[in-house]
Homo-oligomer: A and B are copies of this chain.
């Protein structure tokens, strides 16, 4: 079986460019024991993939030059060598993305529940970004009703769920985003108490001060940089910083200095804690049963930005860094 696949042609130097990507044909071979051959329905592009395009060690293995990119995928089973799956089943896998067909390990596939979700949800709210938001907020941030939660990149795949989960927990939620349209979405659709367009404020620090006059109890960091500095200044005593991402730093050619006010961690007894989705995959059953319920009752919703056609994969990825997505960005094949 042949597959088209996105290959890493060269490592991005700073901001990724289209020329870093190339489409090639791969010969897949036949599925081995417990493997599935799938035809891609949709695949995901995520900010964290930028780190995998560097040579340096990251938590996920580096992509190799001349080799296919990888990531989450939802596909239809064409051939199954796994007893739990049969031809025609829809499955989600954390590996096998960025190509039109893939061999995936059946043991690591989740069955797509089409009664409650759309296939693309398994790349977003019902997938890696969803479990990131759920585990990060409830197991790391640990919100308590009445607290103030500040969410950066609040209209993205992860941020938009964090906002809603925090509201469900009785918290006051403040979100930041990079366009007026996104700010409107946060206020009107997600019902956050306050939101601002960080590109239009005098300073992020002042925006934090204006919107969180009583301080911040949980800061959800998707961004790093100036946002983290402002958060440290405005955190309340015993606040928690849930370190999910630092997208502001991902394209840096040389690392920028960190916050100059990190000493606040001591006086305010802050807890700053990082986490990764894959440490929390055991929580999928509890999470998806809640998510289905919340969705049905209208308590949680999400947006999907769909880019059509396999060939648009690289453009979709580049769009993440210019903020073109509302909610989850997926490529539909």
Contact = CB atoms under 8 A, between A and B. Distances in A.
Nearest to A59: B267
Nearest to A266: B274
Contacts of A276: 266-267, 269
A258 interface: yes
Interface in A242-270: 243-246, 249, 255-270
A273 B274 contact: no
A269 to B, nearest CB: 5
Which of the listed residues A51, A228, A257 has the most CB atoms from chain B within 10 Å of its own CB? A257
A271 interface: yes
Contacts of A224: 262-263
A274 B279 contact: no
Interface in A7-45: none
A228 B257 CA distance: 13
A258 B265 contact: no
A270 B267 contact: no
Contacts of A51: 267
What are the 9 tightest A-B residue pairs by CB atom distance, in nearest-first order? A257-B257, A258-B258, A59-B267, A255-B260, A266-B274, A265-B274, A258-B262, A271-B273, A272-B272
